[in-house]
Homo-oligomer: A and B are copies of this chain.
Amino acid sequence: MIADQDIAVLKSAILRFVPLTAEEWDLLLPALAYHHLSKGEKWINEGQKEQRMGIVLSGNMRHYYTRDGAEKTTYFYFENHFVGSYISALTNKPSQLTIEALTDCRLLTFPYAHLQMLYEKAPRWERFGRLLAEYLAIGLEERMAGLLTMSPEERYPELLHGNKQKILERIPQHYIANYLGITPVSLSRIRKRLLEK
């Protein structure tokens, strides 16, 4: 039994993209499942075909790529964020990402295949799919452009933009340093220089 207030969180996140009638919304309900992750637990492992996506109800998570054992963090998730290896679900290929809980986390999830079925059933769900994919593409381009055109010192304020308080209070320094591709010591120096400005 999923709590009403948890369903309300997902509903409000979806309605931010697109209005749905009560009947359209109800089409998603049978597919919902509740997940609890413990701190440090991996929700999706690199190489795995993950077919569910979901929303973070509480807690925070990150995702990363791996190269020769070294992690390359490219995203932090907080409450109300959609989470999933969306590209793996789209392409039905193994995930290149690992998605890990940085704290105990509560998620509400549904199979990507159910969403695809909704695209067939209701044009408004298809609109949600278009807007979700566009939102994802915008975020991916911003991060790739950031990697190619900005120094760690420029990328740090960019990372904080919009989520400043949550990132500073809830994400351990070494993960922020990993996102920027620098050591925690270099991050301390950057923070000091930015405070002096």
Contact = CB atoms under 8 A, between A and B. Distances in A.
A39 interface: no
Interface in A132-181: 133-134, 136-138, 140-141, 143-145, 147-150
A145 B72 CA distance: 9
A123 interface: yes
A90 B138 contact: yes
A25 interface: no
B91 A138 contact: yes
Interface residues of A, number: 30
Interface centre among A66, A138, A141, A145 (most CB of B within 10 A): A141
27 contacts: A65-B148, A66-B149, A67-B150, A72-B149, A74-B144, A74-B148, A87-B137, A87-B138, A87-B141, A96-B149, A119-B127, A123-B123, A126-B126, A126-B127, A129-B130, A130-B130, A130-B133, A133-B134, A133-B136, A133-B137, A137-B137, A137-B140, A140-B140, A140-B141, A140-B144, A144-B144, A147-B147
